Amino acid sequence: MERILVLVRHGQSEWNKNNLFTGLRDPELTPQGIEEGRAAGHVLKAQGLSFDRAFTSNLIRAQDTLKLILGELGTPGIPTITDAALNERDYGDLSGLNKDDARQKWGEEQVLIWRRSYAVAPPGGESLQDTVARVLTYYCQTLLPCVLRGERVIVVAHGNSLRSLVMALDQLTPETVPTVELATGIPIIYRLKTDSTVESKEILAP
């Protein structure tokens, strides 16, 4: 029995392009982001992969990327669940600000702490630790049971929500996980053992 979990960060959004803190704001994909979604579907199809179930966030950039992937695979109608548990980290007062402007306002060191520390949250927002807590609860209760019963699962979400899943799958620590970078539109294929640990991991570069 295959136990396959594929993670894909959404394609480039308009706010990614403009170097803005996005968080729970809901910009659409850029033309490049649309092509990244299609390319992700293409490389998955080349691997002979298809899916039984899909999961995504409540945000349009992730939902649209998923639709592009499933369209390329020729399976647009598979069961799909959207859930706020997979939303991007809430950047609070930083949301919508240019990252360079934020550095000028609060200082480079403070903004780096908000972006890359594990436990420190920006004003009015979530820390990475907060994001990990909600995402891993959802993983254990919803995603993992599907994978372990043999369903091929794809999750299209965001840099920080997927970083939380990678933390669990790769057994990373609070010290190492903030340095993990996930490129937009690049599928990561995990194959799990019966005990839910990772048998193999493959990153599908375009």
Domain positions in the chain are 4-203
| Burial (0-12, 13-18, 19+ Cβ within 10 Å), 56 | buried
Interatomic CA distance for residues 186 and 204, integer angstroms:
6
Question: What does the block give as tokens for 46?
Answer: 């080349």
This prediction's pTM = 0.96
pLDDT, residue 199, reads 98
pLDDT of res. 205: 84
Domain 4-203 grouped into CATH 3.40.50.1240: yes
Instruction: Please compute the mean of the pLDDT values over residues 41-66 and round it to a whole number.
Output: 97
Count how many Cα atoms sit within 13 Å of the Cα of residue 205 in the half-sphere of its side chain: 0
d(CA 200, CA 59): 29
By annotation, the residues acting in catalysis are 10, 88
In DSSP terms, 8 is beta-bridged to: 156
Question: pLDDT confidence of 59, banded at 50, 70, 90?
Answer: very high
